[in-house]
Structure formats: structure tokens, C-alpha cells
Amino acid sequence: MPKVTYCIHALFHLLARRDIAQNIGSLLATLEISEDQLAATKKGLNGVAMPNFGDVGVRVVERDEGGSCGSEGRKWIERELLEPEDRIIIF
């Protein structure tokens, strides 16, 4: 399931980059997760290799452009991913 979620996340970044969809944004600062929920999730994911969602936007740009986006491009992407946006899509 983590790989599927990662792929969907990457797809939204690609679609937003091509102005086909809104930016998926980051929910990190907006979610409220209890300690019990966090502990249960960690227990359920014990031993599961998780993808790095933090750099999915960078990876999409690198693949879309056929190479590395450089340090300035990486900084821009990181800012875009970390800034709270009113364009966050909630399902």
C-alpha cells in the first residue's frame, strides 16, 4: 500500500507540473494525529520499507526533465512542498 500511495502522490506532482491538476501540497502541518494512532500505525508498519515522500516532487522533476534539476530547482521544489497552500486536495 505505501508504494501505491507514493505513486499516486508522484502522479499528482506530475499533473500539477503540467498544469493538468492542482498541486497536492503537504498535509504534514495540518494533520492532528494522536499518540495512540501514531503508535498503532508504527506497529502496523514495522518492517515495511517506506518510500521517501519528502522528495517525490524533486524526483518527478528530475524524471520529467531527463536529469537533475540542480540545487536551485531542488530548493524551489522543497519550498513548494513545505509551504501550506489553499490548493491542497482532500479526498
- The model scores a pTM over 0.85: no
In a domain, 90, yes or no: no
CB 53: neighbour CB atoms within 10 A? 15
Assigned domain for 43 exists: yes
Q: Is residue 88 part of a domain?
A: no
pLDDT, tens only, 6-49? 777 778 877 887 788 887 776 667 778 889 998 898 888 888 77
On whether the CB atoms of residues 24 and 89 are closer than 8 A, the answer is yes
Q: Is residue 11 part of a domain?
A: yes
How many domains, in total, are found in the chain? 1
Establish if 89 belongs to a structural domain: no
85: nearest Cα among 7, 26, 28: 26
Domain membership of residue 28 as a residue range: 2-82
User: What is residue 36's predicted lDDT score, i.e. its pLDDT?
Assistant: 92
Measuring CA to CA, which residue among 25, 90, 21, 17 is closest to residue 60? 17
